[in-house]
């Protein structure tokens, strides 16, 4: 018979910080989304455009893109379909693996990214970098670097 271990509850301060993080990250996402809506895209679509712009030949396998932008394959497929309708990306069959599909940045998608990037960077700076200040910003980087290195069961 397996024994149940009582959870180690968060202290009041830990709970306060956790809830502040949840609300703050939600508000930050809302603000960045609102800024990008002026360009007809949302934050998830912007991240896809950035990822595609940064890879060789501006194309990547859909499975790798899903991992890079931390979206399920199903969600990414729907997002890419919407972006295709706007001529921001195009899907192509992988020449070496007929089952593989590439997402590729179109010239229109690249131009939209160039147009939206200055506003987005300013929104990130105003709503996150400068709001946190240099010491807190560095601490956030260390904290989330640690979060990314936690092995999950």
**Residue 151: pLDDT band with limits 50, 70, 90:** confident
The pLDDT, as a whole number, for residue 11 is: 96
> Is residue 137 within 8 Å of residue 129, measured between CB atoms?
yes
C-alpha distance across the termini of the chain, in Å: 21
The pLDDT, as a whole number, for residue 22 is: 96
- State yes or no: pLDDT of 152 exceeds 90: no
- Per-residue model confidence as pLDDT tens digits over 104-124: 999 999 999 999 999 999 999
> Is residue 117 within 8 Å of residue 22, measured between CB atoms?
no
- The arithmetic mean of pLDDT across residues 85-111, rounded, is 92
- Report the share of the chain in percent with pLDDT over 70: 98
Q: How many CA atoms lie within 13 A of 94 on its CB side?
A: 12
What pTM was computed for the model?
0.88
Q: What is the CATH number of domain 40-118?
A: 1.10.10.10
User: What are the sequence ranges of the domains in the chain?
Assistant: 40-118
């Amino acid at each position: 018979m397996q024994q149940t271990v009582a959870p180690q509850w968060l202290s009041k301060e830990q709970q306060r910080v956790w809830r502040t993080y949840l609300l703050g990250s939600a508000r930050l996402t809302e603000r960045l989304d609102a800024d990008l809506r002026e360009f007809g895209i949302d934050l998830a679509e912007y991240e896809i455009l950035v990822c595609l712009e940064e890879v060789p030949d501006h194309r990547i396998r859909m499975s790798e893109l899903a991992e890079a932008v931390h979206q399920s394959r199903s969600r990414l497929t729907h997002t890419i379909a919407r972006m295709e309708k706007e001529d921001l990306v195009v899907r192509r069959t992988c020449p070496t693996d007929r089952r593989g599909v590439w997402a590729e940045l179109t010239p229109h998608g690249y131009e939209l990214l160039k147009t939206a990037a200055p506003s987005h960077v300013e929104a990130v700076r105003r709503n996150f970098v400068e709001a946190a200040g240099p010491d807190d910003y560095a601490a956030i980087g260390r904290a989330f670097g640690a979060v990314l290195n936690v092995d999950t069961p």
